[in-house]
Amino acid sequence: MPEPKDVRILLMEDDPGLARLFQKRLARHGYQADLARDGEEGLAMYDADSYDILVMDHVMPVYTGVEVIRILAARGPLPPIIMVTGTGSEQIAVEAMKLGASDYLVKDVDGGYFELLPSVIEQALHQHRLVEEKRRAEAEREQLLIAERDQRLLAETLAEVTLALASLTSSEEVLGEILHQARRIVPHSASSIALLEDGMFCIARSQGYEAFHPEQSQSGGMHSLSEMPFNRNVVESRRSLIIRDTAQEPQWVTFEVTNWVKACILIPICLQDRVLGLLRLDSDTPGTFSERDAERLRPFANAAAIALENARLFREVQRLANIDELTGTYNRRFFFELAERELGRACRFGHPLSAVMLDIDHFKRVNDHHGHTVGDQVLREVARRCHENIREVDILGRYGGEEFIIMLPETDAVGASATAERLRRIAHTAIITDRGPVTVTLSLGVATLNQNDSLHAMLKRADQALYGAKQAGRNRVCVVESGLWAVNGEQ
């Protein structure tokens, strides 16, 4: 309870004599009261200063006591108010209490109400303090309930997001889902994910920017860490960064597609001690993002990091399942899967398709004379040279042992024969191995797709052509087209 000297009282009384008596009686108990001579002056003084309690007569010029209470009640919570009424005006006091007055006093002829005033003031202040404490407690409880509900919803959302991300194995799907789910966590105008590799940021996926620049896209852009000081800061510190107003940041780097951005939040996507990339949320309104948003996004970024790593591992497992471990070419199973697709496409559109089967001549001698380690090195180098001398659309696979097979889309017999001859010649350069240089030759068979051909039938002809090249003396190309044979190469 405050000391009387610390309590600020505003007295509204139009009778000067009664006003002096009020002030004297209050002074005996340590209270000081400022005087307003009517309701209008009282309202002005209340607005201009801070008062702990109001004591007012009902009958005053301009505004009555009840009217003053009604005006104050319309503005918001009322301070403690004591209404003083004349004898026979109890109904006025009841109305004042209904409007929010704390208590009332009735003027009696003996002036007894002066004696009651200090204790009534003390009681009104005590009651008001209890009401305020209750209101604060209820407000705090409401805030706690809101915070608890918000945390529960966030936890549920994060659980759903984590489950959704964990169910995806494609990197493209994961990137899209991260941006889609980020909107549930923190509202924003546009977002992007930049993946970090060798000191360069590549914008792997973005969304929302087309609403501001329909003709441009964020995705695919490459930036070095030195170009993006804020990105560099986040990578080096591994901590979130909030830019509340880009106009106030001298180091803010803008591009045409992002010249509308007024606020930004950057969240590192980390897996243990590695920074995989950054999640960036942009807004066209300054002050959009807060530290609370960063807190909400951190566990989300952790889930995103795990999902991206899982997608990478899945992609690597798929690659290993499709690749011949020794040579790095497609294995037999995956080669046939891709070849069937190309055959279907060629038949559907009536386009040419050719196959080249090649074999390293006398490969057993390499293994016998130099050992299997050198033989493996020769296989790897032949595969590498083949890769370098075919197109990206061509399909190279290991058929078995020292045999390789190549599918050439959109290639007729002439083009396939030229490719085969080019491959035959690349083997002439000695292969450097652990046991010194080794020279090998290649025999190659070429077949083209005939009408109503199956993959098996076409590859069988390529195999027969390869056998023909072997029979003709090796180190040559044999082409079979429409049942006709042609052999070329070194005689």
What is the pLDDT at residue 225?
78
For 45-64, what is each residue's pLDDT tens digit? 999 988 999 999 888 999 99
Examine the fold and report which residue of 109, 134, 159 is the final residue of a domain before the chain moves on.
134
Q: Rounded distance, CA 208 to CA 180, Å?
A: 10
Q: Residue 106 — φ and ψ, nearest 5°?
A: -105, 125
Same structural domain, 193 and 277 = yes
For position 483, which CATH number holds? Answer: 3.30.70.270
Same structural domain, 276 and 220 = yes
Q: Is the pLDDT of residue 221 over 90?
A: no
For 434-447, what is each residue's pLDDT tens digit? 999 999 999 999 99
What is the pLDDT at residue 380?
96
What is the pLDDT at residue 486?
61
For 274-288, what is each residue's pLDDT tens digit? 999 999 999 999 999
Return the DSSP state at 135. Answer: H
Same structural domain, 340 and 420 = yes
Q: Is the pLDDT of residue 491 over 50?
A: no
Q: Is the pLDDT of residue 302 over 60?
A: yes
- With b for 16 or more beta-carbon neighbours within 10 A and e for fewer, the 124-140 pattern comes to bbeebeeeeeeeeeeee
Same structural domain, 181 and 35 = no
Helix (H) or strand (E) holding 290, with range, is none
Task: Characterise 199 by phi-psi region: left (phi > 0), alpha (psi -120 to 50), beta (else).
Answer: left
342 in any annotated domain: yes
For position 209, which CATH number holds? Answer: 3.30.450.40
Structural domain including 459 reads 332-489
Pairing label, strands 32-36, 8-12:
parallel
Residues annotated as catalytic are: 402
Same structural domain, 242 and 350 = no
For position 53, which CATH number holds? Answer: 3.40.50.2300
Instruction: Find which of 98-112, 123-137, 233-247 is predicted with most confidence, using mean pLDDT.
Output: 233-247
Same structural domain, 352 and 293 = no
Same structural domain, 238 and 338 = no
Mean per-residue pLDDT of the chain: 89
Examine the fold and report which residue of 134, 153, 180 is the final residue of a domain before the chain moves on.
134
Nearest to 16 by CA among 71, 73, 61: 61
Helix (H) or strand (E) holding 479, with range, is strand 476-481
Same structural domain, 314 and 246 = yes
Same structural domain, 484 and 338 = yes
Same structural domain, 463 and 350 = yes
Task: Using only the alpha carbons of the chain, give its radius of gyration.
Answer: 44
What is the pLDDT at residue 217?
62
Range with the lowest mean pLDDT among 63-72, 156-165, 401-410?
Answer: 156-165
Instruction: Find which of 85-89, 163-167, 298-302, 339-343 is predicted with most confidence, using mean pLDDT.
Output: 339-343
Q: Residue 7 — φ and ψ, nearest 5°?
A: -90, 125
Examine the fold and report which residue of 258, 283, 318 is the final residue of a domain before the chain moves on.
318
CB atoms within 10 A of CB 35: 18
- Alpha carbon of 139 to those of 54, 135, 152, 491: distances in Å? 26, 6, 20, 98
Same structural domain, 221 and 342 = no
Helix (H) or strand (E) holding 108, with range, is none
Same structural domain, 211 and 299 = yes
- Alpha carbon of 39 to those of 70, 114, 125, 225, 260: distances in Å? 12, 21, 22, 68, 54
Arithmetic mean of pLDDT, 16-41? 88
